[in-house]
Amino acid sequence: MIPAEAFALACGLFTAINLILLKKGLAHGNPVTAIVISLAINVLSFWSFVFAVLPWDEILRPELLIFVLVGLIQPGGTRYLAYLSVEKVGVAVTAPLRATTPLFSSLMAIAVLGEQLTPAVGAGTALVVFGITLLSLREDKTGAWMNILVALPLLSAFVAGSTQVIRKIGLAQITLPILGAATTTGTSLVAVAVSLTVSRNWAMVRFDRRSLGYFLLAGCAVTLGVASVFMSLHLSDVVIVAPLASLSPLYSLVLSALFLREVEVITVRKVAAAALIVLGVVLITAIR
């Protein structure tokens, strides 16, 4: 069986790929279009799988209500904040600050679920968060260490971290983790559609051929990321999964150097921050 840590690490990689593709697509598109496309791909993929492997009596269960409640705010809401952040401040800032999710999820898991935070996991999480913070510092000479738009990925991280605990509770009630992912993303797509209808903003959804390919690929990447995090939460505790699933800054650093050379600069500080993140991962995964 594939270990939970492998699924969690895969989630971080797919998240980074998603952000890189989004950065490319947002040059000619907008966050709302990206959200609609990504959620549509999520729903099509997850529900196709669910209908293929589960009977109706397993699908129509009252235990799924908790995933419906989560879907009202996440992933639609958190993606909007993250995608808007990618558009406004870039991948180099969004990825690390969005990855502070484990700080929020671990604290809530300990308080709500009674999970144990061992010294190794605590130290590893602290290193990951410290590395993430170091990675997000500005290097310009404006006098500000960070602009106000960092609130976008931080709020996204807070909501995502909080809902990881709720999802963990819900996953204990069902046998197929992807059913939870299908319900959550399906609800989120409906919520986004209702919001656009009520506000009469469907005109914001524009399928520009220059961005469509990037958004479609980004939607596939985030679908794999969501599936990975649900599988990892099904197999292990939040305090183990959350830090590993939030390693997108490390992957983003490499991918940005390869594919975003014109807008992403690799510095000694960023490399040092990545090293701290890797050390934190080693503590979390190798020492219990």
Q: What are the pLDDT digits (tens) for 9-50?
A: 898 899 889 988 998 899 899 999 999 999 999 999 999 999
CA dihedral (48, 49, 53, 59) in degrees, to 10, reads -70
Q: What is the pLDDT of residues 101-128, one digit of tens each?
A: 777 777 777 777 777 777 877 887 788 7
- What is residue 75's three-state secondary structure? coil
CA distance 31 to 37: 10
Q: What is the pLDDT of residues 65-104, one digit of tens each?
A: 999 998 988 888 888 888 888 888 777 677 777 777 777 7
Is the separation of the CB atoms in 99 and 157 below 8 Å? yes
CA distance 41 to 38: 5
Q: What is the pLDDT of residue 147?
A: 53
Is the separation of the CB atoms in 160 and 78 below 8 Å? yes
Residue 240 has pLDDT above 50, yes or no: yes
pTM attached to this predicted model: 0.79
How far apart, in Å, are the Cα atoms of 106 and each of 18, 53, 128, 157, 241?
Answer: 24, 32, 12, 12, 9
Q: Which two tokens stand for residue 26?
A: 């947002």
